[in-house]
Amino acid sequence: MALLDMGGNYRGYAADITCSFPVNGKFTEPQKAIYNAVLDAHDHVMRSMKPGVSWVDMHLLAIRTVCKHLITLGILQGSLEELMSKQVMQFFQPHGLGHLLGMDVHDVGGYLQDCPTRPAAKDCCKLRTARVLEQGFYMTIEPGCYFNEMLLHNALADPNIKMHINESKLREFWDFGGVRIESDVCITADGVINFTRVPRTVEEIERTMSGHVFVKDIEVYKNA
């Protein structure tokens, strides 16, 4: 898998987009499984964002969705609630869901004086903001799932985490690398506008990499 985190500047304003795709243009079944897990998290968040929603809750929704897929794949074992309570996903997504975007790629305003402070939980402490979403916020959505050797060794060294890992199944993904899907969105009065016009589904990516022209409209989500 190739993971490209990229973006351009337009009149002083930044973009930040990540695309993950198979180098040879065709997904293997393991690649497809992890990619679709992350895409499911991305789309769940996209359909849930609107003014008044906590960004921490969106982050938890994303990692919960990926966790559910890892259970289905047999990599993780146990109940979803127990895995979330033990913060297992810190080992598979060691970053926050996204960040404010503006004149800087990682823009200011994440932790202001009168805003929620950084969460202490290990699966949320990397969040670049804990604010409640407001109309006009421009930000990224970037869930991921990674098989990072150092983090996996740390997970297996903790008996409370290791008991929830099917190590033989995990070894099948040990050299996988990772997937991140990052889109740039604007919060509207009742949802979001997704300005990121790139291939996202497995079918779109494979078709584009086979030489077909990709065309996509801006997506508007009404989540009221």
Residue type, 177: G
Task: State the pLDDT at residue 24.
Answer: 97
* pLDDT score of 224 more than 90: no
The yes-or-no verdict on residue 44 having pLDDT over 90 is yes
User: Taking the mean position of all CA atoms in its chain, how far away is CA 148?
Assistant: 16
CA–CA dist 127, 119 (Å, integer): 8
The whole-number pLDDT of residue 18 equals 99
- Which of 218, 217, 198 has the alpha carbon at shortest distance from 208? 198
Here the CATH number for the domain that contains residue 59 is 3.90.230.10
d(CA 120, CA 118): 6
* Residue 75 structure tokens: 């990599």
Say how far apart CA 55 and CA 171 lie, in whole Å: 33
User: Please, what is the angle between helix 55-72 and helix 29-46, to 10°?
Assistant: 150
The C-alpha atoms of residue 88 and residue 63 are separated, in whole angstroms, by 10
Query: How far is CA 102 from each of CA 14, 115, 184, 191, rounded to the nearest angstrom?
Result: 6, 19, 11, 19
- Summarize pLDDT for 170-212 with one digit per residue, the tens: 999 999 999 999 999 999 999 999 999 999 999 999 999 999 9
Does this model's pTM top 0.95? My answer is yes
Which of 9, 42, 218 lies closest to 140, judged by CA? 42
Q: Does residue 1 surpass a pLDDT of 90?
A: yes
Q: What is the dihedral of CA 107, 99, 134, 138, to 10 degrees?
A: 70
> Domain total for the chain?
1
Residues 83-114 have pLDDT tens digits of 999 999 999 999 999 999 999 999 999 999 99
The CA distance from 189 to 81, in Å, is: 32
Give the E-state strand segments of the chain in sequence order.
2-6, 9-10, 13-14, 17-21, 138-141, 144-146, 178-180, 183-187, 191-194, 219-222
Domain interval for residue 71: 2-222
